[in-house]
A and B are shown apart, each in its own frame.
Chain A
Amino acid sequence: MTTLIETLLNGLLLGALYALFGLGLSISLGVMRMINIAHGDLIVVGAYITSVVVQATGVHALASLVLVVPVMFAIGWTLQRVLLNHVVGRSLFAPILVTFGLSIVVQNLLQEIFTADTRSLRDEYISQIGFDIGGVSVGLLPLLSAAVSVALFALTHVLIANTHYGRQARAVADDPSTARLVGVDDKNFFAIVTGFVLSAIAFAAVLYAIRTPFSPSAGPERLLYSFEAVVLGGLGNLWGTFFGGLIIGVAQLLGARVSSGLGPFFGHLVFLMMLLARPHGLFVRTVR
């Protein structure tokens, strides 16, 4: 029984990290109606940048965020300005295919620069700290990841609800052309949004890199987990994405208990089954 509770709890904590993967995807889908196929690869880019910073400066991976977040913001801003603004809202396939090409380019660049070997920023100290809550053991790192994830979701919520940028985001999401009419500089605004998305990715990337070894080809899996979280939560539903992530995390760890190789399989399976049961996401009441 305790092992089951332990699995559930750890599944929720892992799910919070997946939710953090999905946060950026949810924002770019909600605001720009655009899916970035390279989303997972950008998470891996974040992990590699962290490892470079850690190697060069010797600081702790978590401390490197001070540098990694602005760098990722700059990458996101530039990416949107130089490339993605050409395809936003143009057609169904333009954004998908351009970011698909980007995904291939990024994966192979990483492989060329860092080789195909796996890397890890595993921190023996943090990874070994755990708490014993009534016989259920929980690691510090998963707790920390979940806390960061909740904090970033809350921050995004506040930003969207209360700030000028948030109002622009809601306006563009509702009706891009009208938003442009009333003075939203959408090209520049999209660049800022993608910058923000990549900053969120930076947090996800660092936590992920400490938790799991990564390699240049690890991106697509991250994209799929993010995607599942977003779809389960429902389009444009920020906290829905968070709960979607939790479901995938729990499904994976419960699946891994059935057979160690089947964790992601059960995640995907639960996703497909939920899709049949609630095609518009868990938290959408009205049919669009």
Chain B
Amino acid sequence: MSDRTLAPEFVRDGGNFVRPIRALRLLNLVLPPAILANFIALPWYGDFVVQRLLVEVFTLFAIALAWNLLAGYGGMVAIGLHFFVGIGSYSLFAVSNVLHLNPWVALPIATACTAVVALISAWPMFRLSGAYFAVGTWVLAELARIAMLNIGWLGAGAGMPLDMISTFDRWSRNAYVYWSALAVGAGSLALAVVLLRSRLGLALVSVRDSEAAALASGVPVGRAKFALWVIAASITGTAGAVSYISTLQVTPDASFSLNWTAAAIFIVVLGGIGTVEGPIIGTFVYFVLREAFAGFGSWYFIGLGSLAIVTMIVAPGGAWSLISRIKKIDLFGIRRRMPAVAVQPDAPKAS
């Protein structure tokens, strides 16, 4: 399957992509833990403002990554991904408030709730495909938003606060939110890498490249897409829930807002659709742009929208495609190469 199972000479032979594992083994072993340790230690030396910003960065990164898994690998463009931001955050607030649970205990329950909702919602959504699926998910999100606006015990239009958060002092509240956001960001990245290296990942890449060919070669396309839908929904729901622990209040209009999906789309389009590296670069670019230009209000969004349009037309692969055009890098060891040498001698034997 993957080239990890092949003899080493094939890896070297196919060598179009440089893998850090080979090239910079030491750096690869040292750098990620160092970065992670640095991030983990931040609450002890960084201030609240930086923590708040990073909470946004990590949660939005996770949502963008989930959107990219769906669109870039599963061929499922979901304009209504914010449905799961709302479901995740509302589940967390409802569970924590009703059962008087510590929000961090309620967090895994919220993830599970989102997964269950994803299972159910797949039933109508998977009747649609392509562009119809894209807008269909948006209908789902609108449906949920209007429902929340009208459900009294969930606070209707005003939403609800997170009651149990008052049992924490300010420092621990901020630090716990920050660490959970870090866990969601790093965890979803790790999950995506593991996923894409697995058999399911191979199936998804084949679906991405040609759904018809994948079907014809016996790939269980439907099952792979369904699994991806539930995984991406769970990531999104968890990230949404953490994000709203930080905000302390859920409302239908904010939690089920298209802005979540819009940000995810901008990140993925700018960074590079269908890659894992893309959302990392995209998140960086997105937040740099936001911090620099958000003061311009509508003009900021006009600029961002135009940038996304131009990117889609001029460089549909986003920033990462521009980088990998110069130097082929595969940061996470996800790419698979044809074992060209191995196939040739075998070919005549076939049939």
Contacts and interface: CB of A to CB of B under 8 A. Distances in A.
Interface of A: 29, 34-35, 37, 83, 86-87, 90-98, 100-105, 107-109, 111-112, 220-221, 223-224, 227-228, 231, 259, 261-262, 264-265, 268-269, 271-272, 275-276, 279
B212 interface: no
B79 A227 contact: no
Given A92-B130, A105-B305, A268-B143, 14 more contacts: A91-B316, A93-B71, A93-B273, A96-B77, A96-B134, A97-B269, A100-B265, A101-B305, A107-B301, A112-B298, A223-B135, A227-B135, A261-B149, A262-B150
- Top 10 A-B residue pairs of the complex, sorted by shortest distance between their CB atoms: A104-B305, A35-B131, A105-B305, A279-B127, A101-B308, A101-B309, A108-B298, A268-B143, A265-B146, A108-B301
B-side interface size class: 35 or more
A98 B262 CA distance: 12
Contacts of A98: 308-309, 312-313
**Among the interface residues A35, A100, A112, A275, which one has the most CB atoms of the partner chain B within 10 A?**
A100
Chain B binding surface SS class: helix
A223 B299 CA distance: 23
15 contacts: A83-B313, A92-B130, A94-B312, A100-B79, A101-B269, A101-B312, A102-B305, A104-B262, A104-B308, A112-B299, A231-B136, A264-B142, A271-B139, A275-B128, A279-B127
Interface in B119-141: 123-124, 127-128, 130-132, 134-136, 138-140
Contacts of A109: 298, 302
Contacts of B158: none
Contacts of B138: 220, 224
B304 A104 contact: yes
Interface string B292-305: 00000111011011
A104 B301 contact: yes
Contacts of A221: 142
Contacts of B50: none
Interface in B278-337: 297-299, 301-302, 304-306, 308-309, 312-313, 316
B258 interface: yes
A34 B77 CA distance: 14
Contacts of A94: 312, 316
B285 to A, nearest CB: 15
Interface string B218-236: 0000000000000000000
A87 B313 contact: yes
Nearest to B308: A101
Nearest to B309: A101
Contacts of B53: none
B150 A37 contact: no
**Among the interface residues B128, B134, B147, which one has the most CB atoms of the partner chain A within 10 A?**
B134
A108 B303 CA distance: 10
Contact of B135 (A95, A224, A259): A224
Given A91-B316, A92-B131, A96-B131, A102 B77 contact: no
Contacts of A271: 139
A113 to B, nearest CB: 9
A83 to B, nearest CB: 7
Nearest to B157: A261
Contact of A87 (B71, B136, B301, B312): B312
Interface string B141-166: 01100110110000000000000000
A2 to B, nearest CB: 28
B237 interface: no
A268 B146 contact: yes
B146 A96 contact: no
Contact of A105 (B128, B135, B136, B302): B302
